[in-house]
Structure 1
């Protein structure tokens, strides 16, 4: 290896970058990871929930020692009005080790350390200022006044991929393709969490909310139980948030006061507050994933799907890291880092990640532009449930009659039918 030249340089030590570094180091490659945080995870923010099939694909069995929080065994979907809520509560005792809540400040250093143990080199606290370009090919990075050369550069720098953008490899992030997220981490004892969520030690709950939690803006709220804390926050469509002109911090603070959620966090201590952009444009907004000497992975590539009841991103990031590493290995063996060789990266992603994004390509449009979804429908659901449970000495009505009564005057029946049909096809 020439002085200060690596086979692969990875920008970002998040899940995509660390996964790629781990796989490449395991294959004996000369790989460098550069991250602007003081340590991996220092600048990473997520809800967050990790589906473990991706970890098993990355490091079979080894992931069981990872600092994950709680296995999600209880799923709750909630529609909210200013005072009321309607929830579907599901216990998933048979879904063993399918997913865990995770705190990135704990998990990311562990994954990066695994990559270092395998032989990768990590430089934290370093900002990549630009890429080295020679004859249209990426040939390394510029950082701290120095140039570090590489046969291949993998950008895993996150949703706002400024290095790739400034080099002209991808277009700037568009408002309609991202959401804005805000999160509180609230400390509570493990015993209190177990009691309030009716979960056994090591098991936890995930709550996804829509309606008043975002003041009617397209988006939703989330709650995940960690070992000794709760992650509570919201995600709103950035375009809708801008048009609504509402302070996001104020909406996030009010979320903690809603009767449906306040009981879960009562007496807790706020230990962290953060905000972040989330890629949500989906399949139609995907950038070019490869170029001469260059690959794009994780959030930088927009590999996230929001279906309302689930949000997928961290598992896709890991899979893209694996695919990037496999593609890099192929290029190293061939001694060819051209677009023609690196296009196999897209084929690897197509097996699951891109296939999912294509299948759900209309999900973002449906969630962002179904105008009754976050206002009228939560109110209709709450009204219907009140009617179902109301006993006031009046003659009983059939459920179909109560349903029609709840909808009548609010919106046309045909609009409800169209939204249900579109949702079934989009989500």
Structure 2
């Protein structure tokens, strides 16, 4: 590319876009990273949790100064009925796989690493469209400016309007996304340590299902930060739309459940946000490339909800790395055609897409298993309540209590069928 343009322009300074920009800058390429936020991360919301294997792959041994919050060493799975809750509490003190993270700080840090590597980063600039010439993407439009590039990489996020307007991908379907709301409560480090029975630097992730998500595919979450708690609710957008339930009311009610309210008691609300999440799985993945164009991260639908884990940020970073590798090959070959860029999918197949194939049925299983978010949470809490109930009447065996709890609610065959199907899907 001449002095009037760039070799690569990247839209969006989230984990995917910044990962691609970092790798390309390290390779000595002429890179422009454009983000619409006042600063990178200012527009990005998440629960949030990052699995660090992707950071290690992006910048081996050089992410120690990343503004991560707490190492997640405690996993809590909670089932909730109207007044009761039942938790499985697991402690893994020797595992260093993931950290809680606040995206505004993390994304700004990663974009700074991109600048240090030699790329140009422009914040507060909205990309209004793509430049097309003979069907090939040759740059971007931002305000009154047109900026040219050999290749454009989109890391726009879950709502990739620029790519949609250019006709490169289909509009996002409501049945393939979830909607999340999140509160952040400020609490002292000492209070958080006491409530979660942990120490500074270590933290917990809590996922809850049942009454909190009104029986709809989704659930509540809590993540411990250094001096704050992230509390939120994520639900399947299509199911929620059909339910006619107010999401704002459900989010407000979330703070009132005793099992969750005890963690945020006395905290100061410092942030409230909402966010869309791609959860359509394998069948909902977007077209990943076009002539002069690559798609990464949430914009491509690269997020998986397995019920007990939700992964998106690590997939975003891995897709950014793969996009940078593909861009380097295209620059060396001087070939930016779709047929050449299709190798990008092969690169993703080695990491991200392999998981999508393995878990291709997870979204449908969770969304359409009738008892998953209604009967089962109620039965779990009911059974545990019966086990601990001592009222002076003759004691029943555990099997007797199980029969009492499940009587008239569902058959053992239904339970077995759901267990088998879940084992194959999740």
Partner of 2:359: 360
* 1:111 correspondence with 2:121: no
- For residue 347 of structure 1, give the secondary structure of its aligned residue in structure 2: helix
Partner of 1:197: 196
How far does residue 216 in structure 1 lie from its aligned partner after superposition?
Answer: 1.4
Partner of 2:36: 36
CA–CA distance in structure 2, aligned partners of residues 3 and 54 of structure 1 = 34
How far does residue 394 in structure 1 lie from its aligned partner after superposition?
Answer: 2.7
CA–CA distance in structure 2, aligned partners of residues 226 and 351 of structure 1 = 33
How far does residue 326 in structure 1 lie from its aligned partner after superposition?
Answer: 0.5
* 1:169 correspondence with 2:168: yes
How far does residue 415 in structure 1 lie from its aligned partner after superposition?
Answer: 1.4
Partner of 2:229: 230
Q: How does 1:28-177 map to 2 (within 5 A)?
A: 28-95=28-95, 97-177=96-176
* 1:19 correspondence with 2:14: no
- For residue 267 of structure 1, give the secondary structure of its aligned residue in structure 2: coil
How far does residue 64 in structure 1 lie from its aligned partner after superposition?
Answer: 1.0
How many residue pairs match? The answer is 426
- For residue 62 of structure 1, give the secondary structure of its aligned residue in structure 2: coil
How far does residue 218 in structure 1 lie from its aligned partner after superposition?
Answer: 1.3
How far does residue 273 in structure 1 lie from its aligned partner after superposition?
Answer: 0.3
Q: How does 1:268-417 map to 2 (within 5 A)?
A: 268-417=267-416
- For residue 64 of structure 2, give the secondary structure of its aligned residue in structure 1: helix
CA–CA distance in structure 2, aligned partners of residues 402 and 348 of structure 1 = 52
- For residue 199 of structure 2, give the secondary structure of its aligned residue in structure 1: coil
CA deviation map 1:191-249 (0-9, x unaligned): 00000000011000000011111111211111000000000001011111111122212
CA–CA distance in structure 2, aligned partners of residues 409 and 86 of structure 1 = 22
How far does residue 41 in structure 1 lie from its aligned partner after superposition?
Answer: 0.5
CA–CA distance in structure 2, aligned partners of residues 61 and 231 of structure 1 = 28
How far does residue 5 in structure 1 lie from its aligned partner after superposition?
Answer: 0.7
CA deviation map 1:398-418 (0-9, x unaligned): 222211221111122211111
CA–CA distance in structure 1, aligned partners of residues 275 and 351 of structure 2 = 26
| Regions of 4+ moved over 3 Å | none
CA deviation map 1:61-81 (0-9, x unaligned): 111110000000000000111
- For residue 330 of structure 1, give the secondary structure of its aligned residue in structure 2: helix
CA–CA distance in structure 2, aligned partners of residues 319 and 62 of structure 1 = 16
CA–CA distance in structure 2, aligned partners of residues 381 and 249 of structure 1 = 27
CA deviation map 1:274-326 (0-9, x unaligned): 00110000101111101111100000000000001000000000000000001
CA–CA distance in structure 1, aligned partners of residues 296 and 261 of structure 2 = 37
User: RMSD in angstroms over aligned alpha carbons?
Assistant: 0.9
How far does residue 263 in structure 1 lie from its aligned partner after superposition?
Answer: 0.6
CA–CA distance in structure 2, aligned partners of residues 303 and 402 of structure 1 = 43
CA–CA distance in structure 2, aligned partners of residues 13 and 289 of structure 1 = 18
CA–CA distance in structure 2, aligned partners of residues 308 and 156 of structure 1 = 25
* 343-352 or 301-310, which deviates more: 343-352
* 3-12 or 226-235, which deviates more: 3-12
CA–CA distance in structure 2, aligned partners of residues 196 and 305 of structure 1 = 30
CA–CA distance in structure 2, aligned partners of residues 42 and 274 of structure 1 = 12
